[in-house]
Protein backbone atom coordinates (compact mmCIF):
# COMPACT_ATOMS: atom_id res chain seq x y z
CA UNK A 1 0.00 0.00 0.00
CA UNK A 2 2.95 2.29 0.55
CA UNK A 3 4.19 1.88 -3.07
CA UNK A 4 2.48 3.28 -6.11
CA UNK A 5 1.72 0.75 -8.76
CA UNK A 6 1.99 1.59 -12.43
CA UNK A 7 -1.07 0.69 -14.36
CA UNK A 8 -0.81 0.22 -18.06
CA UNK A 9 -3.79 1.40 -19.98
CA UNK A 10 -4.51 -0.18 -23.28
CA UNK A 11 -5.52 2.59 -25.65
CA UNK A 12 -7.72 0.16 -27.59
CA UNK A 13 -9.84 -0.53 -24.54
CA UNK A 14 -12.53 1.75 -23.28
CA UNK A 15 -11.12 1.60 -19.74
CA UNK A 16 -9.77 4.76 -18.40
CA UNK A 17 -7.20 5.30 -15.72
CA UNK A 18 -9.94 6.04 -13.21
CA UNK A 19 -11.59 2.69 -13.87
CA UNK A 20 -8.32 0.90 -13.27
CA UNK A 21 -7.79 2.70 -9.99
CA UNK A 22 -11.30 1.79 -8.85
CA UNK A 23 -10.58 -1.88 -9.61
CA UNK A 24 -7.38 -1.70 -7.56
CA UNK A 25 -9.23 -0.10 -4.65
CA UNK A 26 -11.93 -2.78 -4.80
CA UNK A 27 -9.25 -5.51 -4.84
CA UNK A 28 -7.54 -3.97 -1.82
CA UNK A 29 -10.86 -3.73 0.05
CA UNK A 30 -11.55 -7.41 -0.53
CA UNK A 31 -8.21 -8.44 0.89
CA UNK A 32 -8.74 -6.23 3.96
CA UNK A 33 -12.29 -7.48 4.47
CA UNK A 34 -11.30 -11.18 4.33
CA UNK A 35 -9.27 -11.13 7.57
CA UNK A 36 -11.98 -9.08 9.25
CA UNK A 37 -14.70 -11.54 8.28
CA UNK A 38 -12.45 -14.46 9.36
CA UNK A 39 -11.92 -12.72 12.69
CA UNK A 40 -15.64 -12.11 13.05
CA UNK A 41 -16.29 -15.79 12.23
CA UNK A 42 -13.73 -16.89 14.85
CA UNK A 43 -15.36 -14.60 17.40
CA UNK A 44 -18.78 -15.99 16.59
CA UNK A 45 -17.51 -19.59 16.94
CA UNK A 46 -15.79 -18.75 20.23
CA UNK A 47 -19.03 -17.23 21.49
CA UNK A 48 -20.98 -20.34 20.45
CA UNK A 49 -18.45 -22.64 22.15
CA UNK A 50 -18.55 -20.55 25.32
CA UNK A 51 -22.34 -20.64 25.34
CA UNK A 52 -22.30 -24.42 24.77
CA UNK A 53 -19.74 -24.90 27.54
CA UNK A 54 -21.79 -22.79 29.95
CA UNK A 55 -24.90 -24.82 29.18
CA UNK A 56 -23.00 -28.08 29.70
CA UNK A 57 -21.66 -26.78 33.02
CA UNK A 58 -25.17 -25.83 34.16
CA UNK A 59 -26.54 -29.23 33.09
CA UNK A 60 -23.72 -30.99 34.95
CA UNK A 61 -24.37 -28.93 38.10
CA UNK A 62 -28.07 -29.81 37.91
CA UNK A 63 -27.17 -33.48 37.39
CA UNK A 64 -24.91 -33.48 40.48
CA UNK A 65 -27.65 -31.87 42.59
CA UNK A 66 -30.21 -34.41 41.36
CA UNK A 67 -27.89 -37.37 42.05
CA UNK A 68 -27.13 -36.06 45.56
CA UNK A 69 -30.85 -35.60 46.24
CA UNK A 70 -31.67 -39.10 44.93
CA UNK A 71 -28.83 -40.59 46.99
CA UNK A 72 -30.12 -38.91 50.17
CA UNK A 73 -33.65 -40.15 49.43
CA UNK A 74 -32.37 -43.67 48.79
CA UNK A 75 -30.53 -43.72 52.12
CA UNK A 76 -33.57 -42.31 53.92
CA UNK A 77 -35.96 -44.84 52.41
CA UNK A 78 -33.54 -47.75 52.88
CA UNK A 79 -33.33 -46.82 56.56
CA UNK A 80 -37.12 -46.58 56.75
CA UNK A 81 -37.49 -50.09 55.33
CA UNK A 82 -34.99 -51.53 57.83
CA UNK A 83 -36.61 -49.67 60.71
CA UNK A 84 -40.03 -51.02 59.76
CA UNK A 85 -38.61 -54.56 59.87
CA UNK A 86 -37.01 -53.88 63.26
CA UNK A 87 -40.33 -52.67 64.69
CA UNK A 88 -41.55 -56.28 64.71
CA UNK A 89 -38.51 -57.31 66.72
CA UNK A 90 -38.98 -54.44 69.16
CA UNK A 91 -42.61 -55.42 69.68
CA UNK A 92 -41.66 -59.09 70.17
CA UNK A 93 -39.11 -58.03 72.80
CA UNK A 94 -41.73 -55.93 74.58
CA UNK A 95 -44.15 -58.88 74.59
CA UNK A 96 -41.34 -61.12 75.90
CA UNK A 97 -40.55 -58.69 78.74
CA UNK A 98 -44.24 -58.40 79.65
CA UNK A 99 -44.59 -62.18 79.56
CA UNK A 100 -41.44 -62.70 81.64
CA UNK A 101 -42.73 -60.39 84.39
CA UNK A 102 -45.72 -62.60 85.04
CA UNK A 103 -44.13 -66.00 84.48
CA UNK A 104 -41.82 -68.30 86.39
CA UNK A 105 -41.27 -70.54 83.33
CA UNK A 106 -37.63 -69.74 82.50
CA UNK A 107 -37.55 -72.20 79.60
CA UNK A 108 -40.36 -70.44 77.72
CA UNK A 109 -38.73 -67.05 78.35
CA UNK A 110 -35.41 -68.32 76.99
CA UNK A 111 -37.17 -69.91 74.01
CA UNK A 112 -38.93 -66.62 73.26
CA UNK A 113 -35.65 -64.66 73.46
CA UNK A 114 -33.98 -67.19 71.13
CA UNK A 115 -36.80 -66.73 68.62
CA UNK A 116 -36.42 -62.94 68.71
CA UNK A 117 -32.63 -63.29 68.37
CA UNK A 118 -33.05 -65.56 65.34
CA UNK A 119 -35.53 -63.12 63.80
CA UNK A 120 -33.05 -60.24 64.25
CA UNK A 121 -30.17 -62.26 62.79
CA UNK A 122 -32.31 -63.18 59.78
CA UNK A 123 -33.21 -59.55 59.08
CA UNK A 124 -29.61 -58.36 59.41
CA UNK A 125 -28.38 -61.32 57.36
CA UNK A 126 -30.79 -60.44 54.57
CA UNK A 127 -29.10 -57.01 54.53
CA UNK A 128 -25.68 -58.60 53.97
CA UNK A 129 -24.47 -58.80 57.58
CA UNK A 130 -22.31 -61.82 58.35
CA UNK A 131 -20.17 -62.68 61.38
CA UNK A 132 -16.40 -62.95 61.11
CA UNK A 133 -15.04 -66.34 62.05
CA UNK A 134 -12.26 -65.98 64.60
CA UNK A 135 -11.64 -68.77 67.13
CA UNK A 136 -9.22 -71.36 65.77
CA UNK A 137 -8.32 -69.20 62.78
CA UNK A 138 -4.94 -67.67 62.11
CA UNK A 139 -4.84 -64.07 63.36
CA UNK A 140 -5.55 -61.68 60.49
CA UNK A 141 -5.35 -57.92 61.19
CA UNK A 142 -7.79 -57.33 58.33
CA UNK A 143 -10.51 -59.03 60.40
CA UNK A 144 -9.25 -59.31 63.97
CA UNK A 145 -8.09 -56.88 66.63
CA UNK A 146 -5.71 -58.46 69.14
CA UNK A 147 -6.65 -57.46 72.68
CA UNK A 148 -4.36 -59.95 74.45
CA UNK A 149 -1.50 -62.26 73.54
CA UNK A 150 -1.19 -65.45 75.56
CA UNK A 151 1.85 -67.74 75.61
CA UNK A 152 0.66 -71.31 75.10
CA UNK A 153 1.80 -74.59 73.60
CA UNK A 154 -1.79 -75.79 73.04
CA UNK A 155 -2.29 -73.77 69.85
CA UNK A 156 -0.07 -72.96 66.90
CA UNK A 157 1.64 -69.57 66.92
CA UNK A 158 -0.56 -66.58 65.97
CA UNK A 159 -3.87 -68.42 66.34
CA UNK A 160 -7.04 -66.83 67.72
CA UNK A 161 -7.79 -68.73 70.93
CA UNK A 162 -10.62 -66.59 72.34
CA UNK A 163 -13.11 -64.04 71.05
CA UNK A 164 -14.11 -61.19 73.38
CA UNK A 165 -16.42 -59.47 70.91
CA UNK A 166 -17.87 -60.81 67.67
CA UNK A 167 -16.79 -59.04 64.49
CA UNK A 168 -19.09 -58.41 61.51
CA UNK A 169 -18.93 -57.65 57.82
CA UNK A 170 -21.45 -56.28 55.37
CA UNK A 171 -20.72 -58.00 52.09
CA UNK A 172 -16.89 -57.65 51.85
CA UNK A 173 -16.43 -54.68 54.18
CA UNK A 174 -15.56 -55.08 57.85
CA UNK A 175 -17.85 -52.93 59.98
CA UNK A 176 -16.57 -54.22 63.32
CA UNK A 177 -13.37 -56.15 63.94
CA UNK A 178 -13.40 -59.24 66.15
CA UNK A 179 -11.69 -58.49 69.46
CA UNK A 180 -9.60 -61.53 70.22
CA UNK A 181 -6.89 -63.23 72.30
CA UNK A 182 -4.00 -64.57 70.22
CA UNK A 183 -1.58 -67.39 71.00
CA UNK A 184 2.13 -66.70 71.15
CA UNK A 185 5.01 -68.86 72.16
CA UNK A 186 8.71 -68.18 71.74
CA UNK A 187 9.34 -71.68 70.35
CA UNK A 188 6.32 -71.50 68.02
CA UNK A 189 7.36 -68.01 66.92
CA UNK A 190 10.82 -69.17 65.90
CA UNK A 191 9.44 -72.22 64.12
CA UNK A 192 6.89 -70.09 62.30
CA UNK A 193 9.54 -67.61 61.17
CA UNK A 194 11.82 -70.40 59.95
CA UNK A 195 9.04 -72.08 57.97
CA UNK A 196 8.15 -68.85 56.21
Q: What is the pLDDT of residues 83-98, one digit of tens each?
A: 888 888 889 888 888 8
Does any domain span residue 11? no
What's the rounded Cα separation, in Å, for the pair 36 and 74? Answer: 56
When comparing pLDDT for 71 and 82, which is higher? 71
Exposed (0-12), middle (13-18) or buried (19+): which is 192, by Cβ within 10 Å? middle
Task: Report whether pLDDT(27) > 60.
Answer: no
Domain identity same for 158 and 103: no
Domain end call among 104, 127, 150: 127
Minimal CA–CA distance to 189: which of 153, 162, 137? Answer: 153
Q: What is the pTM of this model?
A: 0.53
**Which of 99, 127, 155 is at the close of a domain?**
127
Distant-in-sequence, close-in-space partners of 182: CB < 8 Å, separation ≥ 6: 139, 144, 146, 148, 149, 150, 158, 159, 160, 161
Poorest-pLDDT segment among 4-8, 79-83, 163-167, 170-174? 4-8
Domain check: are 22 and 49 in the same one?
Answer: yes
**pLDDT reported for residue 32:** 53
Question: Is 52 a domain residue?
Answer: yes
**Which of 70, 100, 127 is the last residue in one of the domains?**
127
Residue 184, in any domain of the structure: yes
Same domain, 30 and 119: yes
> pLDDT at position 65, please?
94
Q: How many CB atoms lie within 10 A of CB 144?
A: 22
Q: Considering the chain, what percentage of its residues have pLDDT values greater than 90?
A: 22
Output the CA–CA distances (angstroms, integers) from residue 133 to 36, 148, 163, 178, in the order listed: 78, 18, 9, 8
Q: Are residues 73 and 101 in the same domain?
A: yes
Q: Domain containing 142: what range?
A: 131-196
Q: Which residue spans within the chain are E strands per DSSP?
A: 129-131, 144-151, 160-165, 168-170, 173-176, 178-184
Domain membership of residue 31 (yes or no) is yes
How many structural domains compose the chain? 2
CA pseudo-torsion sign 118, 121, 125, 130: negative
Residues 177-196: what's their mean pLDDT?
67
Residue 9 lies inside a defined structural domain of this protein: no
Instruction: Please tell me whether residues 30 and 100 are part of one structural domain.
Output: yes
* Cβ neighbours, 10 Å, residue 162: 14
User: Percent of the chain, pLDDT > 70?
Assistant: 77
| Phi, psi values for residue 15, rounded to 5° | -70, 145
Whether 152 and 186 share a structural domain: yes
> What CATH number is associated with residue 136?
2.30.22.10
By C-alpha distance, which of 192, 173, 65, 178 is closest to 127? Answer: 173
8 Å CB contact between 112 and 96: yes
Amino acid sequence: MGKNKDVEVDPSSNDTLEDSEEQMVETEEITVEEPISALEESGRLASEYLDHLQRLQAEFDNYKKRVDREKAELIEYASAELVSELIDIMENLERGVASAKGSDDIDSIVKGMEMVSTQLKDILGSRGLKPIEAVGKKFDPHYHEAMMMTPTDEYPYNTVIEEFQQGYMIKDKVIRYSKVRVSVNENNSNNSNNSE
